[in-house]
Amino acid sequence: MKAELTDWQAKKFRTLFDLFDTDGNQTIDEAELDGGMERLQIDTGWPEHSRVLSHVTARWKIFLRSLFQDTPVLTEQKWLDYVARYLQKDRQQRSENPGHRGGLEEFAQLLFLLLDRDRNSKIDYQEFLILFYALGRHDSDAEEAFEKLDTDQDGFLQKSELEDMTLEFFHGSEPGSHGDWLFGPPPAA
């Protein structure tokens, strides 16, 4: 079966592509993705040789290698194809094994680790803003995004919430779920 995205998924992942395409030339290269990660790491303020940063950096490099294995630059179409193939495989693994934990959970875990600067095992609004700024988002949208993602409304993002929202963002096939807000306001439906 051909890996396919719904119209809504394609819209969401195009928005993500545009956030990463910082010079706006309709392609993404490795330097742009490395730059994004570097901004995020600098903004979080972890010491350069901390275990958190070494771990996240190593994992990010593996991701970049797989993303750019056939091509030095990603067009929007290649990006959408990559995500579609990835999600198809992920869905298959989940249907074969309901307890499956894969790359999406790992992504959420690493993002959580990176953002939880005071290490109290929850992300507060100020910590969330670090991600928002690194993505080049405007903080006028941040409060609404945080509220959507904080599904139990306790004022913090727990690790399980971040994981659930990550799964919703990537697998959510129709508009209207809270996970649509993971990287900021969703595109118009």
**Residues contributing to the site for Ca ion (CB under 5 A):** 116, 118, 120, 150, 152, 154, 156
3-state secondary structure of 185: coil
Q: Which is nearer to Ca ion, 4 or 118 (CB)?
A: 118
| CA trace torsion 124, 101, 72, 173 (10° rounding) | -80
User: Which residue number, 14 or 159, has a Cβ lying nearer to Ca ion?
Assistant: 159
**Run of H or E residues at 114:** helix 103-115
| Residue 5 · residue 83 · CB < 8 Å | yes
Q: Which is nearer to Ca ion, 12 or 122 (CB)?
A: 122
Residues in Cβ contact with 50 at an 8 Å cutoff, skipping those fewer than 6 apart: none
Question: In the complex, what is the shortest distance from the CB of residue 127 to Ca ion, in angstroms, rounded to a whole number?
Answer: 5
Q: How far is the CB of 126 from Ca ion (least distance, A)?
A: 9
Give 71-93 as a 3 state SS string: CCEEEHHHHHHHHHHHHHHHHHH
Least distance between Ca ion and beta carbon 16 (Å): 23
Cβ-based nearer residue to Ca ion, 54 or 120: 120
Rounded to a whole number of angstroms, the minimum distance from the CB of residue 158 to Ca ion is 5
